[in-house]
Structure 1
Amino acid sequence: MTFARKPSPQTRAVLAALAERTADWSHGYELSRTLDIKAGTLYPILIRLAERGVVETAWEQETPSGRPPRHLYRLSADGAEYVRELRLAQSPAVRSTTEGAATIVPRVMASRPARAEA
């Protein structure tokens, strides 16, 4: 899977975060907080990735009372292959940096306190 342009650093960060949790669904707010990417940047990235088949999307099935359903995202099989290709195409120095960043994302997510449900 190849595209005309190289992905931006923000797109690479989104892909790395989703690659760490390939079986799990993530919602945009969670990704925005974890990656410190503003919604105005994140959602267009997610939409483009979904249009290209890199990311699968779904609506949350069960929602707490008083909250609308969230849109969920996860890496598709093609997306996982694309991430592998991106990592192989990087120089060893860049690859070690992005792999290091990919190990930080789960630790940051695990260290965040659970959100209190309203």
Structure 2
Amino acid sequence: MTPKKAQLLKIFLEAPDQPRYGFELMQLTGQPSGTAYPILAELERGGWITSSQEDIDPSKAGRPRRRVYVLTCEGYLAARQALEDLSETFRPPAPAQPRGRR
């Protein structure tokens, strides 16, 4: 789990049912397209997210369809566990109890 992948997953976990699109994720994370889209493709291959084309009429919307990404149930569980594991990996140990003064 890389920090950049964890950053994307955190966005998905903040609102698990909300579809996200690539440019939005890039804005929220500050990641360039060359970083975000390969991670999204990897997450999709792993079954953590699914993607589809937005259901709009481009001529009426005045823009092309966006690809939207949605966290799967399996992805939700796996992402929560992965971020918990990552957090545990980097959590400093509890400080030793201070010794009394002499």
TM-score range (shorter-chain normalised) is 0.7 to 0.9
TM-score by length of 2: 0.78
Q: Partner residue of 1:18?
A: 12
Unaligned runs of 5+ in 2: 92-102
1:34 aligns with one of 25, 28, 35:
28
Higher Cα radius of gyration: 2
Q: CA deviation at 1:93?
A: 6.2
Q: Partner residue of 1:91?
A: 88
For residues 55-78 of structure 1, give each alpha carbon's deviation from its aligned partner in whole angstroms, at most 9, with x where no partner exists: 111110014533110000121111
Q: Partner residue of 2:2?
A: 8
Secondary structure of the corresponding residue to residue 91 of structure 1? helix
How high is the sequence identity, in percent, across the aligned residues?
26
- Runs of 4+ off more than 4 Å: none
Unaligned runs of 5+ in 1: 1-6, 95-118
Aligned length: 88
After superposition, the CA RMSD in angstroms is 1.7
Q: Match of 1:87, as an amino acid?
A: L
CA distance in 1, matches of 2:50, 2:16: 10
